[in-house]
Amino acid sequence: MNALIIFVLLLALMLTGMPISISLGLTVLTFLFTMTSVPIESVALKIFTGIEKFEIMAIPFFILAGNFLTHGGVARRMINFASSMVGHWHGGLALAGVMACALFAAVSGSSPATVVAIGSIILPAMVKQGYPRGFGAGVITTSGALGILIPPSIVMVMYSVSTNTSVGKLFMAGVIPGMMLAMLLGLTTWFLARKHNYPRMKKASWGERFVTFKKSAWGLLLIVIVMGGIYSGAFTPTEAAAMAAVYAFIIAVFVYKDLKIKQVGKVLLDSAAMSAMLLYIITNAVLFSFLMTSENIPQAMAEWITGKGLGVISFLLVVNVLLLIAGNVMEPSSIVLIMAPILFPVAMKLGIDPVHFGILIVVNMEVGMCHPPVGLNLYVASGITKMGISELTVAVMPWLLTMLAFLMLITYVPQISLWLPNLIYN
C-alpha cells in the first residue's frame, strides 16, 4: 500500500511538468513527514552522506573533460581520421560518423556531448555530399548513444554509486559491448547506404591516414591515459576523471589552440551548471532510495518475484520492459538512480552478476535516449539538424531496431559483458 502511495504521488508530481529531481524530493519529504515518524535530522544526514561518496567526484570532472574536448577541435580531428580509414566504403562519411562517435565516446563519457561534438561537424558535410538529412540524423543520434556505454561513462558511475558496484569493473565490462554495438550500427549504416547507393569518398593512402592519425593522436591518447591509468592501478576512476579534465584543458588550449583562454570561463560555467543539475538529481534520488529501503519495498518486491516463481530469464525481460517504459518519461540519470536500488536486490537474490546487470541497464538507457518523448539525443540532434522530433523518430528507426536486438543479446549472453572484467580482475 505504501509503495502505491509513493509511486502515485511521484507520478502525479511529474505529470504537473515539475522537474524529476524536485518531484523525487517532494515525494520523499511529503511521505516521510505525513506517514512516518522519521526525524528531520536523519533526512538531512542522509542527504549529506548520500553525496559524500568519492566516486561522485568523477561526474563533474568527466563533464568538464567532455566540454573541453567538444570546444577544443578534438572531434574534428577524430572525424578526419575516421574518414581516412572507412570513407571509401558505401556510405563512407556516415561510417566515419559512427567510428568518430565511438572514439569520442571513449574520451567524453556523455551521449549528448558526443552527438553535439560529432554531429555539428559531420551532418552539414553529409548533406553537402548528397546524403538525405534524415539518414545523417539517424546515424548520429544513435551512434552518439555510445557515449554512455563505451567507458568512461557518467551513467556507469551513477549505477556504481547506487549499488556499490566497482566502477573499474563496469568500465571494463563496457568495452566489448561498446565495440560490438558500434560495429552493428556501422553494419546497419553500410547496408542502408549500399541499398540506396549513397556517396563514397576517395580511398585515402596510408600516408594520408598516418597524417590524420598523427593530428588526432593527442585526443586519442586520452583513452590510453584514462583506461590505462585505471587498469594499471596508477589511479582510481575518480582520479582518472580529474586527469582527463586537466589533460583535455591542456590539449584544447595549448596544443590544438582551438579554445581561447577567454572562452575557458564559459566552459567552466557550463560544466558547473550541468554538474549541479546532476548532483541535485543524485541528492534527491539518494533520499528516494532511503525511503524505499526504510519501507522495505525492494525486499518485498524480491520476495514477491521469487514467490511467483519468476526465473532469471523472465525477470530480465520484465526489467527490460520496465526500463524501456521509464525511458519514455525520464532521462537516464534519474532512471538509474530510482530503479537501480529497487531492482538490484532482486537481481542479487536471483544470482545475477551486478556488473552484467549494470551493463544491461546502461544499454536500456541508450535505447531510451534515442526515442521520444524524452530522448535526450533526439532533442540535441533536432537542434543540429533543424528537424522535428516526429521526423527524427522515423529517421532513427533502423538503428533503433538494431539497438533493441543488441539489448536482447546483452541481456541473455552475460559473457559478452563479463569476459573482460573477469579476465583482468581474476
Q: What is the 3-state secondary structure (H, E, C) of the chain?
A: CHHHHHHHHHHHHHHCCCCHHHHHHHHHHHHHHHHCCCCHHHHHHHHHHHCCCHHHHHHHHHHHHHHHHHHCCHHHHHHHHHHHHHCCCCCHHHHHHHHHHHHHHHHHCCHHHHHHHHHHHHHHHHHHHCCCHHHHHHHHHHHHHHHHCCCCCHHHHHHHHHHCCCHHHHHHHHHHHHHHHHHHHHHHHHHHHHHHCCCCCCCCCHHHHHHHHHHHHHHHHHHHHHHHHHHCCCCCHHHHHHHHHHHHHHHHHHHCCCCCHHHHHHHHHHHHHHHHHHHHHHHHHHHHHHHHHHCCHHHHHHHHHHHCCCCHHHHHHHHHHHHHHHCCCCCHHHHHHHHHHHHHHHHHHCCCCHHHHHHHHHHHHHHHCCCCCCCHHHHHHHHHHCCCHHHHHHHCHHHHHHHHHHHHHHHHCCHHHHHHHHHHHC
Other C-beta atoms closer than 10 Å to the C-beta of 307 total 8
Does residue 294 surpass a pLDDT of 90? no
Looking at residue 268, what is its pLDDT? 94
pLDDT digits (tens, 9 = 90+) for 328-367: 767 788 788 888 888 898 899 889 999 999 999 999 999 9
Q: What percent of the chain has pLDDT over 70?
A: 99
Q: Would you mind telling me the total number of residues written for the chain in this entry?
A: 426
- Report d(CA 186, CA 178) in Å as an integer: 12
Furthest-apart CA pair in the chain: how many Å? 73
- Report d(CA 230, CA 240) in Å as an integer: 7
Asked if 147 and 340 count as a contact pair (C-beta separation under 8 A), the reply is no
Closest CA to 100 of 85, 118, 116, 88: 118
pLDDT band at 233; cut points 50, 70, 90: confident
For residues 402 and 383, which has the higher predicted lDDT (pLDDT)?
A: 402
Least trusted range by pLDDT, from 61-75, 130-144, 163-177, 288-302: 288-302
| Exposed / middle / buried, residue 128 (Cβ in 10 Å: 0-12, 13-18, 19+) | exposed
Other C-beta atoms closer than 10 Å to the C-beta of 409 total 15
7 Cβ neighbours under 8 A, 6+ residues apart = none
- Report d(CA 380, CA 100) in Å as an integer: 17
Residue whose cell numbers read 565511438: 102
Rg over alpha carbons for the chain, rounded to the nearest Å, is 22
pLDDT digits (tens, 9 = 90+) for 190-201: 999 999 999 888
For the entire predicted model, the pTM comes to: 0.85
pLDDT band at 316; cut points 50, 70, 90: very high
pLDDT band at 162; cut points 50, 70, 90: confident
Q: Is the dihedral of CA 44, 19, 108, 393 positive or negative?
A: positive
- The C-alpha cell that represents 52 in the structure block: 559524500
- The C-alpha cell that represents 42 in the structure block: 536523519
- The C-alpha cell that represents 347 in the structure block: 537481481
**Which amino acid is residue 190, in one-letter code?**
W
Highest mean pLDDT among 203-217, 231-245, 297-311, 380-394: 203-217
Mean pLDDT of the chain: 87
Asked if 105 and 147 count as a contact pair (C-beta separation under 8 A), the reply is yes
- Report d(CA 247, CA 73) in Å as an integer: 14
pLDDT band at 30; cut points 50, 70, 90: confident
For residues 8 and 47, which has the higher predicted lDDT (pLDDT)?
A: 8
